[in-house]
Chains A and B, each alone.
Chain A
Amino acid sequence: MTMSRRHALAAAALIPGAALVGGPARAQQRFDSIFMFVPAGPGGGWDGTGRAIEQAARQAGLVGSFQFENVGGAGGMVGLPRFVNQRRNQANALMVGGSVMVGAGITNKSPVTIANVQPVARLTEEAGVVVVPANSEVKSWTDLAAKFRSNPGAVPVGGGSAGGTDHIALGLILKALGRNPREASYVAFAGGGPANAAILGGQVGAGISGYSEFSEQVKAGRMRALATTGEKRIAGTDIPTLKELGINVTAANWRGVFCPPGLNGQQRQALIDLMTAIHATPQWKEILTTRAWDDAFLTGDAFGAYLKQDIAATEEVLKDLGLA
């Protein structure tokens, strides 16, 4: 979650990747060059994922060089059609994408969606977390769930833009609690900064967003984390998952890479193999640790099946929210 408006963030530039101070190739080089398309501006999560792939692949000598193109805007919906049209059949082209793109395709009724590109690998995911200000009278998930059950509208919840990952997670929670997702008082903020400020200042009753948005405030004791939306607990924390608390809801903001339409099975497999090799490098492991990204590696058809299910589930919630 970054700034909603394109601003300078959604910049785009064709720049060769930074020259890394790496030695000669240490592993077998699989691709001379990779064209990495990032449908978001430099500096955000997708861009970071793309550049991390470059860093690991080049240090391990798996790829000779990388070329980046950033075309930002509308949750990837501006860049996606460009990738589909311009890179069709290009065997060394990869695009970064993720769950944000699934939702954006549905809410914007875009003619070109994530279903128009081929899944290569899911790489990382980040669970959401439900927080309240430290001085809130809400002490536990039970307290908050009781409030949601009696009147969801009375608890304003802050998060990212409407129809985004955070809003969807809240919708799922309310539904599981037997309320209509539309009853939520969801307050959308343009970016993590303003959302954090509103929660810390007690302007909203609770907050929901990716764990990294709130982690530092939680560690410092200024926010209380009540539950996470992942399959399992976030490493290094003792925050229970919703499932443990008896709410059958999981939602995660995942990121992965895709290849253009038109590639045959063999060409796609070569890219899958490349991603598998990158995933196995110690450099990638190190990046996951420093960035606190959760490994969610899943490739090829298994990823494709997951994607299909994710699209269906997202569409259903967005319909419930009245956004699809």
Chain B
Amino acid sequence: MDTLAALAGGFATALTPTHLLFAFVGCFLGTAVGVLPGIGPALTVALLLPITFQVPATSAFILFAGVYYGAMYGGSTTSILLNTPGESATIITALEGHRMARAGRAGPALATAAIGSFVAGTIATLALTFAAPVVVELALKLGPAEYFSLMVVAFVAVSAVLGASALRGLACLFLGLLLGIVGVDLQTGQPRFTFGMIEFLDGIEVTIVAVGLFAVAETLHLATRRKHGEDEILPVQGSLWLSKSDWARSWKPWLRGACIGFPFGAIPAGGSELPTFLSYYMERKLSKNPGEFGHGAIEGVAGPEAANNASAAGVLMPMLTLGLPTSVTAAIMLSAFQSYGIQPGPMLFVTQGDLVWGLIASLYVGNVMLLILNLPLVGLWVKILKIPTPQLYAGILVFATIGSYGVSNSVIDLLVMYGVGIVGLFMKRYDFPVAPAVIGMILGPLAEQAFRQALTISQGDVTTFITRPISASFLVVALLLAFGPKLWSAWVATQQRARA
């Protein structure tokens, strides 16, 4: 079937009033849950599952896709304004975005996030439309050995986020690794670092730690400094809209973010966090004024935001073409397919063509809808910053607590969140960077599992990482990233000396 004709048919389905309404409700709900810390798209889709008894499959999936995309938009809002990541995919956004907000540039930060999400979401949906089968087949070539090597690249890249002191950065990275290891080990079924508590058997939730380190620590920090009469947040200054130079600095990160995010969503162990880290690293490296990073560089918001939205479209690709869920939300959407008696897989495009193309068309529609929904809200959102600091942060604490408890019904999770918040306070006080801890927590367990899976497959032969060509190329990239810049400057120096 001709792709364009099928897509046109899909638009005919997606543009009916009923489906437009479903898309709108989905986008709206998604934006709302994205804004709330702790509550994510996976939970929302899971709670909406019972509607699969009531409405036709196409309507339900248009709703779910709207929630999924919307959450990626909404998550950035709280990251930027309140330094409280709504989703794990928007943790990186908080680094530069919140700095911008504090400098009175919340408007441009929100705008570049929304437009970047739109641009990247649309590019990724185009890629989903035309490149799906090819990319998925390529993704299958990656096994555990390749994933491990890819994680090595990521670790090398993120060490750039370690901040001024490598020692402090590493200390935080290892704190993150330790937190990430807690729970039942996948490869042996044995509990590690759980201290006999069943609540820890499934590990510690990344968003709990992120909210603790960002929101709780921030609140405590402000509380301790309050009596010194410091008010760190500047009022909104200047235009809410992107200036000419903002546009000039944003459009390349958007495109690069889309190119990083989409393939990572598509590979089975990619997820949406990893591409945001890599995009941040890339923007920092490519920036003409890297000194601005850490103080509110717009590129550091534009790139990662584009990357996480592109990865959301990427995730749908293996799910629709192979029936492989690569994220938690996708896994729940898969179970929704099953409750309709539809099994996504290689046959889906043939057996359920109307459904699939209707869904893909609704992604285009949803992207436009989210942009329309989010841009006017920018003005409204930045007003949040006008709330006096004590009340604002009290509100954040309430939301963070409700959100985290609502997800798990677990008091232990709350204790962990506040415990981590206190640790975070001291980290902030003594200038330890927060990002490496979160990154370690996300990447550490992934890398460990991939490493051990690869070794089980190779029966303990460590050379598997260098004898497999793709894995070896990733490792070479990692080496170049680590030592390339130094060797290059050393070479340039010797050249200059030779000339002199």
Contact = CB atoms under 8 A, between A and B. Distances in A.
B265 interface: no
Given A48-B339, A156-B457, A9 B199 contact: no
B190 interface: yes
A6 B408 contact: yes
B335 interface: yes
A108 B453 CA distance: 22
A13 B268 contact: no
Nearest to B45: A43
A221 to B, nearest CB: 9
A212 B190 CA distance: 27
Contacts of A7: 42, 205, 328
Given A43-B42, A74-B201, A164-B189, 16 more contacts: A13-B43, A41-B46, A43-B49, A51-B50, A73-B198, A74-B198, A78-B199, A107-B190, A156-B456, A187-B187, A190-B186, A190-B449, A193-B331, A200-B322, A215-B343, A291-B339
A312 interface: no
Interface residues of A, number: 74
B330 interface: yes
Name which of A2, A154, A164 has the most chain B CB atoms within 10 A of its CB: A2
A161 B186 contact: yes
Interface in A1-41: 2-15, 17-18, 20-21, 41
B34 interface: no
Contact of A13 (B47, B185, B186, B456): B47
A92 interface: no
Nearest to B412: A78
B424 interface: no
A43 B345 contact: no
Given A78-B201, A291-B341, A162 B42 contact: no
Interface of B: 39-43, 45-47, 49-51, 53-54, 139-144, 183-191, 198-199, 201-203, 205, 268-269, 318, 322-326, 328-332, 334-336, 338-341, 343-347, 406-410, 449, 453, 456-457, 459
Given A12-B409, A201-B141, A161 B335 contact: no
A3 B328 contact: yes
A96 to B, nearest CB: 15
A216 B322 CA distance: 9
A192 B51 contact: no
A188 B185 CA distance: 10
Q: Closest 5 interchain pairs by CB?
A: A163-B189, A216-B345, A18-B50, A203-B143, A42-B46
A167 to B, nearest CB: 8
B202 A8 contact: no
B201 A12 contact: no
B132 to A, nearest CB: 15
Interface in A133-189: 153-154, 156, 161-164, 167, 185-189
B85 to A, nearest CB: 14
Contacts of B51: 18
A305 interface: no
Contact of B144 (A15, A72, A198, A290): A198
A201 B345 contact: no
A8 B331 CA distance: 11
Interface in A198-240: 198, 200-201, 203-204, 212, 215-217, 219-220, 222
Interface in A51-85: 51, 55, 69-74, 77-78, 81
Contacts of A14: 409
Nearest to B51: A18
B142 A201 contact: yes
Contacts of B42: 7-9, 11, 43
B201 A73 contact: yes
A172 B410 CA distance: 37
Contacts of A167: 189
B144 to A, nearest CB: 7
Contacts of B457: 156, 185, 187, 203-204
A197 interface: yes
A191 B325 contact: yes
A193 B318 contact: yes
A44 B139 contact: no
A71 B331 contact: no
